[in-house]
Structure 1
């Protein structure tokens, strides 16, 4: 694995371009990139509910990809859309290449992720155990690495889960999970903070929840701007979780939309597999996983439940519990410079992993929207690989805070 300076041949501004060396393939347009100045979460929710592909929110400006019909519908509803670029033309008949586009080879493909995890278990066999939560739609194992001082045993210690790459194009999140693996294995015995947490916690890391989509996103030697899994027209894995699935206008029932929630809760094999793994950590009637972060990109946010309602409290969320989410979320954000807020303050989502983790298991569950803060549309999903090191290390303190909170009464 080497890292070279990125060659800007794939993305130029807001427009995702075909490279001159890409093979000639059949393709389909994903629509155009638009910006809308929105005053509040209700307006953002109304836009998102049409099934557009929301790219980011910054200073009241919502950036998204919409098809012609969606754009017409939004204009008819009174929204003033500013078209700022074209979405990618996606290849439909190209196999995934051996690596990322030229200049971004520092990112890890699925095969390289697998190799990294296997190497960690060889180098640190006493504190690691590699398993699988199940398989993706295309049959790729969903790797789970356990890190603990006695990894082969199920000890009575607080458990913490880190998940990454639910959305295919968010490759920086996989690097975040690999950073956690590297730090808590290589640092054991020499770093006092790392050693203390490995000795007192059971840490689980799932570096890629959506490996099929991630591999497709780099197919044809170019970025595809792909979000969903590869089941049919694709399901948005983070709208497919079972708590209040499809309840509240926070997802789409149209399989062509980017926020398609699936045909039923847990119809995506990936969400079902990870949920089954979490369910399996109920031991003696008590859920052993007490804290969780799901990493996404981009916008530099720390988000917490609930996403399905704009109310601060709802069924299963007392004022005291809501305050704990806010207090911990604010501390997490203070550690990395992100903005803290309840998920629905951005816009309403239903069927999300955070709502399910808390609603079903009372797991203190957060979403991190990583770097950049403002990504200029689709470009934000593909920061140069030179950013991998600084942007993943940026969350070391936040990871430690969550590991600390895992041992606190909820």
Structure 2
């Protein structure tokens, strides 16, 4: 915009401003999208002490509060509405406001990759390594943004009969480090192809799908902030009956809303949506996974959902405390998940546990990818101590997971190798 050297006369200026307001009101939030519903501000954050067991933490989660992390001393950091905090206090737990500001200099919001910068980075990688990297669009968000990923494999344009891996990140908007972790992995697999034998062998023998930003509308909204970090926004930006946004990680169609592990309240951080897959972004991921069934056989063998922040390696199920479930998680399947999870945690220093050991959740990604699709599934809660760790720490925090990510990718040929039963389950 060119700023005129001389201001127009007041009457003319008023007319111009009025016309501008009318234009801005008429504009949609994105192509083909309506404006968000009123409200929808992020919840306030608190520290809850006294919830020492998974059952007690589940009671906290059932108020609708989102448990952001469990501190080493057992205290919980939660995001919650006033009514939810009142319910937490009624459980007899101590609640204090979390007043410590998120770390990071003013440049934090521009040092992390924005949505546009992420797309530009993907385009750059694909242009530099066209023989092994291909951009794909899995679908579109509520506000019409592309949900973009990269496929990495030798003969990348061909759908080969190779074990597949799917990694997604940034399903929760404020978990900004997760996008950086996905971009880091894309960089490692492409830059080191042909020079690092382990990387070369993986790319030659796998089809690897990586989606860095699963929730682009939420990510853009969270980064459009006057603060040094972000808005603290978690959900997507789809209007709901009472507020804005669905928690995409409570919206999947396996045990959706079954077990008190999500909220029916639209303003809650863990709002599960009006129905399973009611959020467009959830359906995009589910449809993509379903599309990888070829001849009735799921080609994706390993799935990882990258979250932050807690320094955890998690595996299914989240909806039940039971380690095994008849027809859904056999003893060998549980042992395979647990053994791989512990091996990954040994390399990155995280804590390994079944998801429900933290607290009960339902409608989550990895409960669905395992329970519905029988893909060996894991969640990383990246370390970092914050949703917005200082950009100066991005490199260290993402490099910490190099070995774990490569190891998980290697297991795609036969996860049962972890328990020595590859011959029984995967053939000679």
Q: Shorter-chain TM-score: what band? A: 0.7 to 0.9
Distance 1:143 1:32 in 2: 31
Q: Is the 2:80–2:268 contact (alpha carbons within 8 Å) kept by the matching residues of 1? A: no
Residue 367 of structure 1, aligned match among 369, 376, 379 = 379
Distance 1:32 1:343 in 2: 22
Larger of the two Rg values belongs to structure: 2
Unaligned runs of 5+ in 1: 1-25, 89-99
Q: Is the 1:131–1:143 contact (alpha carbons within 8 Å) kept by the matching residues of 2? A: yes
1:254-265 maps to which residues of 2 (within 5 A)? Answer: 254-265=265-276
Residue 96 of structure 2, aligned match among 82, 90, 99 = 82
- Deviation of residue 131 (structure 1)? 1.1
Q: Which residue of 2 aligns with 1:163?
A: 168
Q: Is the 1:163–1:209 contact (alpha carbons within 8 Å) kept by the matching residues of 2? A: yes
In the superposition, the TM-score normalised over structure 1's length comes to 0.87
SS at match of 2:210: strand
Q: Which residue of 1 aligns with 2:231?
A: 224
Q: Which residue of 1 aligns with 2:185?
A: 180
SS at match of 1:64: strand
Residue 67 of structure 1, aligned match among 59, 62, 81 = 81
Q: Which residue of 2 aligns with 1:385?
A: 391
- Deviation of residue 33 (structure 1)? 1.8
- Deviation of residue 101 (structure 1)? 4.8
Q: Which residue of 2 aligns with 1:9?
A: none
SS at match of 2:150: strand
In the superposition, the TM-score normalised over structure 2's length comes to 0.83
Unaligned runs of 5+ in 2: 1-38, 417-428
SS at match of 2:99: strand
Distance 1:252 1:324 in 2: 31
Distance 2:299 2:269 in 1: 33
Moved over 6 A (4+): none
Higher relative contact order (CA 8 A, sep 6+): 1
Q: Is the 2:376–2:415 contact (alpha carbons within 8 Å) kept by the matching residues of 1? A: no
SS at match of 1:185: helix
Distance 1:178 1:158 in 2: 21
Q: Is the 2:300–2:375 contact (alpha carbons within 8 Å) kept by the matching residues of 1? A: yes
Does 2:196 align with 1:191? yes
| RMSD between aligned residues | 1.8
Distance 2:233 2:127 in 1: 34
- Deviation of residue 390 (structure 1)? 1.1
SS at match of 1:82: strand
Q: Is the 1:32–1:86 contact (alpha carbons within 8 Å) kept by the matching residues of 2? A: no
Q: Is the 2:314–2:355 contact (alpha carbons within 8 Å) kept by the matching residues of 1? A: yes
SS at match of 1:398: helix
Q: Which residue of 1 aligns with 2:10?
A: none
Distance 2:341 2:40 in 1: 42
Q: Is the 2:40–2:267 contact (alpha carbons within 8 Å) kept by the matching residues of 1? A: no
Q: Which residue of 2 aligns with 1:330?
A: 342
Q: Which residue of 2 aligns with 1:121?
A: 126
